[in-house]
Structure 1
Amino acid sequence: MLTKKQLDLLEFIHKRVQRDGVPPSFDEMKEALDLRSKSGIHRLITALEERGFIRRLAHRARAIEIVKLPESLGGDANGFVPRVIEGGAPDPEPALSPSLPVEPVHALELPVMGRIAAGVPIEAINQVSHHVAVPGSMLAGNGNHFALEVRGDSMIDAGINDGDVVVIRETQTADNGDIVVALVEDQEATLKRFFRRTGQVELVAANPAYETRVLPADKVKVQGRLVGLIRTY
């Protein structure tokens, strides 16, 4: 489900792409939604991307692609995308009628396995620092899950900021484009987009300030795939 602001922004981007062939600038989005700063637009863009409605392409200006539309805009909003818990004030929601049942939220405790680099790789993670509670609905599919605290800004254009906690499903495989925890030469752990080429692996940052790392396939091991993110303010 999208908030009204998220839906308004998605509709505005969709109409501008249909009309002009390119998405609007952040300044145009800010003016259209009557927001005071571009940081609010950044949060909305991040939320739309994490819910699978848009995709931002790295190393290109105004590179926003409409992936799908909600039913209210003539599309089909079905499909899994990572959920994000934000600690700031949420957009106002309609008040619930006292007669409506309230579904309980089931939370699970996950181990936080130290810190993961979203920047220059750091030493491999291998111990539990503390635990964090996450909604059970955030955990995708079967298998074990763990959490990591992000350090660095190389994934900022994917909506992953320094200090965020990422929720990871343990797996040794990944599809091209997945955001994964990659273990490099059994020594360095990093959070990057994963692409497998012939005999090689590319670890791609979501920040043009960082170069893509190209490594022999046998030097990189996938430790898990991103399924969620927790942010506090």
Structure 2
Amino acid sequence: MLTLKQNQLLNFIILRIEKYGVSPSYEEMCEELELKSKSGINRIVKSLEERGYIERLENKARAIAPRKHPNGQTYNSDVINFKDKFINKHSHSLIKNLKPQKDQIPLFGKIAAGTPIEAISNYGEYLDVPSSFLTSEDCYALYVEGDSMIDEGIFDGDTVIIDKKTNINNGDIIVALIDNEEATLKKFRKKGDSIALEPANKNYKTQIYGPDRIVIQGKMSGLIRSYN
């Protein structure tokens, strides 16, 4: 799992490449992450490179190429030629005509990343998402409300993609339905018969429940963020 700054920078690099066909400069990265020093950006870039999320293309200015999305899915692009290691000089015009394959998934409403809120199931809305974001055919989307998961790079206003058909392990970020009434997005921990729902924000406390009170409705497999 990426840190908050790693997640933020990787999303920014992907956004700029898909919009302009070129990776952002270090000055632009500093401004986006509100850092004063390029050395701080260089450390984050190096950590992303070491973990296989990006690749720095040799002998190319401003050439940082994403290899994976923040959720770990492979990043596929018609702009970056990984085989020959260059960013296409016509990439800006290619982006305008590029029509990535997209699928529609149900948008069920809001999920609390904070105090649990009443479960919402709005089956009348659908969301277009890139096919590469989907880990199975049984995914759905939820808007995030709250800040209890910010240390995992999940912010208020984000949209999370949830996969219902997946195995759940300790440390996974899940949608938990509590007492069949309230839904929340938290990290899952199980010890014995107890289930802990852990926040990723020191201002919130871990909540412990018996297994009969929790229904797991899926595991987070992706995140979508809008930059205005």
Report the TM-score when normalising by structure 2: 0.62
The 1:32–1:155 alpha-carbon spacing in structure 2 relative to 1, beyond 3 Å, is: same
Corresponding letter in the other structure for 1:94: I
Residue of structure 2 in register with 1:3 after alignment: none
- What is the identity percentage for the equivalent residue pairs of Structure 1 and Structure 2? 35
The 1:153–1:37 alpha-carbon spacing in structure 2 relative to 1, beyond 3 Å, is: same
Residue of structure 2 in register with 1:133 after alignment: 128
1:34 CA displacement: 7.8
- Choose which of 208, 217, 228 in structure 2 pairs with 1:223: 217
CA distance in 2, matches of 1:128, 1:174: 25
Corresponding letter in the other structure for 2:163: R
CA distance in 2, matches of 1:40, 1:164: 22
CA contact (8 A) 1:171 1:223 kept: no
Matched, 1:192 2:186: yes
- Choose which of 69, 87, 99 in structure 2 pairs with 1:94: 87
Residue of structure 2 in register with 1:145 after alignment: 139
Residue of structure 1 in register with 2:71 after alignment: 82
CA contact (8 A) 1:171 1:222 kept: no
The 1:188–1:177 alpha-carbon spacing in structure 2 relative to 1, beyond 3 Å, is: same
Matched, 1:68 2:51: yes
Matched, 1:158 2:141: no
Structure 1 residues without counterparts, runs of 5 or longer: 1-5, 11-30, 55-65, 85-92
CA contact (8 A) 1:143 1:170 kept: no
Residue of structure 2 in register with 1:174 after alignment: 168
- Choose which of 112, 115, 136 in structure 1 pairs with 2:110: 115
User: C-alpha offsets along residues 57-92 of structure 1, whole Å, 9 cap, x if unaligned?
Assistant: xxxxxxxxx98356969xxx99886169xxxxxxxx
1:128 CA displacement: 2.3
CA contact (8 A) 1:83 1:229 kept: no
1:127 CA displacement: 2.4
CA distance in 2, matches of 1:187, 1:129: 20
Other structure's SS at 2:123 match: coil
Other structure's SS at 2:169 match: coil
CA distance in 2, matches of 1:104, 1:229: 20
1:109 CA displacement: 1.3
Structure 2 residues without counterparts, runs of 5 or longer: 1-5, 11-25, 57-65, 74-85
CA contact (8 A) 2:150 2:201 kept: yes
Other structure's SS at 1:228 match: strand
Corresponding letter in the other structure for 2:71: P
The 1:130–1:37 alpha-carbon spacing in structure 2 relative to 1, beyond 3 Å, is: closer
CA distance in 2, matches of 1:37, 1:229: 19
The 1:112–1:68 alpha-carbon spacing in structure 2 relative to 1, beyond 3 Å, is: same
User: C-alpha offsets along residues 157-214 of structure 1, whole Å, 9 cap, x if unaligned?
Assistant: 1111111111111137411111110111111100001111110111111111000011
Other structure's SS at 1:35 match: helix
Other structure's SS at 1:207 match: coil
Report the TM-score when normalising by structure 1: 0.61
CA contact (8 A) 1:149 1:163 kept: yes
Aligned length: 175
Other structure's SS at 1:137 match: helix
User: C-alpha offsets along residues 81-134 of structure 1, whole Å, 9 cap, x if unaligned?
Assistant: 6169xxxxxxxx934458x9x975101111110110000001112222522110
The 1:150–1:222 alpha-carbon spacing in structure 2 relative to 1, beyond 3 Å, is: same
